Amino acid sequence: MYFSLSWRNIWRNKKRTVIVAASVFFAVLMAVVMRSMQLGSYAYMIHSSAKMFTGYLQVQGVGYWENRSLEKSFTISEQQIEALRKIEHAEAVTPRLEAYALVSHDSSTKVSQVIGIDPQAENTFSGLKKRLVSGAYLNKQSQGALLGAGLAKMLQLQVGDSIVLYGQGYHGQIAAAEIPVVGLVKMPLKIMNNGLVLLSLPNAQQIFWAEGRITSLPILIDDIRHLDGVVSAVKNSTGDKYAVMTWDEMLPDVKENIEADNAGGIIMLAILYVVIGFGVFGTIMMMVAERAREFSILISVGMRRWKLILATTLETLMVASLGFIAGLAVSVPVVWLMARSPIPITGDAAKIYDKMGIEAVIGFSTDPTIFSSQALVILIIALITAVYPWLYIRKLDPAKTMHG
C-alpha cells in the first residue's frame, strides 16, 4: 500500500518529478563517465608501463634496483620460471638481461639500453613482434640485433648494416662486439624508440660475460586487483633468495601522479553531488510546502505520523531511483564503447605523457564498483534529503496549518 501510494504521489506533479529525476540522471551519467575515465586512464597508464617496462612485479637479485648493476644479476632455473608461469592470474613471465653500452655505426655513437630477451616470451609479454617495421624478428639462437627505429635513424643505418657495441660486462669484463642489425622496431615511447637495442638472451649473456644470468624477471598479470595475491604466490615460490618488487615501488612517480589526480577527481565528484543534492533538497522542500495542508488533513483523520514519514521517504527514494536507473542504462553502453576505443592524446599533452614514459591515450574502465558506488551515493543523497520531510512532519501542527 505504501509503495503504491508513494508511486501515485510522485506523479501528481509530473514536471517536478521529471526535473528531480533528470538532475539525478545527468549526475549519474557524468559521475560514471568521469570516474570510468579516471580509473581507466590509471589502469591503462599502469598497464602500459608494466607491459613495456617493468611488468606488474619483478623478481630481481637482492639490491639490483638501487644501482642496476650486472653484479646484482642472478641465476634462476627453467623449472622455477615455469612454476611462476603457472601461478594463477600470471599472464606472462619473461627473463631479461639489461645493461647500457655505447652503440656505434660509422662516425655516429649513442649510449643505449641493451636488453637481452627470450624472443618468444617477450612477444607474449609485450607483443614486440607486432612492432617490427623492417627486417626479421629475433629467435633464441639469433646473433643479430633489433634496434629502435629512432635509434637506427640517428645512427643512419638500415637492416643489414652492423653496429659496434662497447660497454662493461659482468665482474668488470669488457663487453665488445660487432653485431648485424636484423630488424627495426617502432616503440610507442620516444625514449625507447631512440635508445633501445634488443639481443637474444644467450647472445647478450655471452657478450656481457654473464652466462646463465639475468637481471630481472618481469611478470604480467591479467588484472591489477589480483596483484597482492600474485606477489604472495611469487614470494612463496622463490623464497628469500630473490627480491620481489611491484610496479609502484619501481615507478613511484607514476604512483604519485595517479594519487594526486585521483584526489582531485574525487573532489570534483563530491562537488558535483553536493550541487545535485541541494537541487534535490530544494525540490523536496517545495514539495513539502505544497502538501502541508494535505499532511495536516491526513494526520487529523488519524494517520500516524511515522506512516506519513515512511510514504514521503519512499517518494524521495523512488524519484532518485528513476534518475539513477535511467543514468545507469545510458552510462553502461557509453562506458563500454569508450573502453573498447581508447581516446588518443595529441599535442603538448602527448609530450607530457611521453616524458612520463606512458603511451598517450585515455582509457576507460568497466570496473563494476564504478556503477555500484554511484548507487550508494544516490541512496545517501536520497536519505539525507528525506530528513527534511521527516523533521517537518514531526513538528507539524495540523490545526495551525489548516487555519493558516
Predicted pLDDT of residue 167:
92
Residue 241 lies in a domain: no
| Buried/exposed code over 188-216 (b: 16+ C-beta within 10 A; e: otherwise) | ebeebbbbbbbbbbbbbbbbbbbeebbbb
State which amino acid sits at residue 331: S
User: Percent of the chain having pLDDT more than 70?
Assistant: 97
Integer Cα distance of 242 and 114 in angstroms: 23
Say whether both 296 and 367 belong to one domain: yes
Q: Are 287 and 355 found together in one domain?
A: yes
* Cα gap 313→324, rounded to integer Å: 16
Do residue 381 and residue 297 come from a single domain?
A: yes
Task: Tell me, yes or no, whether 15 and 110 share the same domain.
Answer: no
How far is Cα 179 from Cα 364, in angstroms, rounded to an integer?
Answer: 43
How far is the C-alpha of 252 from the C-alpha of 250, rounded, in Å?
6
Q: What is the pLDDT of residue 355?
A: 58
Domain final residue, candidates 213, 228, 243: 213
The pLDDT, as a whole number, for residue 297 is 83
Q: CA 238 to CA 242: how far, in whole Å? A: 7
Residue 208 has pLDDT above 90, yes or no: yes
Calpha distance 315→294 (Å, rounded): 15
Q: What is the mean pLDDT of residues 340-361?
A: 70
Q: What value does the mean pLDDT take over residues 96-112?
A: 92
d(CA 170, CA 207): 10
Both 394 and 262 in a single domain?
A: yes
Residue 57 domain flag: no
Domain match, 289 and 379 both = yes
Per this entry, what is the length of the chain?
404
> Where is the domain boundary, 185, 213, 241?
213
| Residue 363 in domain | yes
Whether 265 and 360 share a structural domain = yes
Which is higher by pLDDT, 351 or 396? 396
Q: How many other C-beta atoms lie within 10 A of the C-beta of residue 307?
A: 15
List, for residues 10-65, the tens digit of each pLDDT value: 787 788 788 888 888 888 888 888 888 888 878 877 887 788 778 899 999 888 88
Predicted pLDDT at 215: 94
Residue 296 clears pLDDT 60, i.e. is over it = yes
Tens digits of per-residue pLDDT, 256-285?
888 888 888 888 888 878 887 887 788 778
Residue the block writes with cell 500516524 = 304
Instruction: Tally the domains of the chain.
Output: 2
Q: What three-state secondary structure class fits 310? A: helix
Q: In angstroms, how far is the first alpha carbon of the chain from the final one?
A: 31
Determine the Cα–Cα distance for residues 223 and 340; give it in Å rounded to an integer: 16
Q: Does the residue 88 lie in any domain?
A: no
Q: Is the pLDDT of residue 316 over 60?
A: yes
Which single residue is written with the C-alpha cell 627486417?
135
Residue 164 pLDDT grade (very low, low, confident, very high; cuts 50, 70, 90): very high
Q: What is the arithmetic mean of pLDDT over 101-122?
A: 92
Decide: residue 147, CB within 10 A, 0-12 exposed, 13-18 middle, 19+ buried. Answer: buried
Burial string for 270-300 (b: 16+ CB within 10 Å, else e) reads: eebbeebbebbbebbeebbeebbeebbebbe
Average pLDDT estimate for 217-243: 89
Give the residue carrying C-alpha cell 635513424.
Answer: 153
Answer whether residue 234 is part of any domain.
no
Q: For residue 71, tell me if it sits in a domain.
A: no
Full residue range of the structural domain in which residue 21 is found: 2-49+254-403
Looking at the structure, do residues 293 and 399 belong to the same domain, yes or no? yes
Do 286 and 194 lie in one domain? The reply is no
State pLDDT tens for residues 124-149.
Answer: 998 899 899 999 999 988 999 999 99
DSSP line for 138-151: --TT--SEEEEHHH
Please give the Cα distance from 298 to 38 (Å, whole number): 49
Compute CA 316 distance to the chain's CA centroid, rounded to the nearest angstrom: 35
**Which pLDDT score, from 0 to 100, does residue 254 have?**
78
Is 240 domain-assigned?
no
Q: Are residues 268 and 361 in the same domain?
A: yes
CA 94, CA 55: separation in Å to the nearest integer? 9
Is 347 or 123 the better-scoring residue by pLDDT? 123
The pLDDT of residue 182 is 95
Q: Are residues 205 and 264 in the same domain?
A: no
**Cβ–Cβ < 8 Å for 95, 121:** yes
Number of H helices, E strands in the chain: 17, 13
- For residue 247, being part of any structural domain is answered with no
What CA–CA distances, in Å, run from 119 to 95, 116, 386? Answer: 10, 9, 63
- How far apart CA 334 and CA 332 sit, in angstroms, is 5
Kindly state whether residues 39 and 133 are assigned to the same domain.
Answer: no
Q: Where among 213, 238, 267 does a domain terminate? A: 213
Task: Please tell me the distance from the alpha carbon of residue 400 to that of residue 404, in angstroms, as a whole number.
Answer: 6
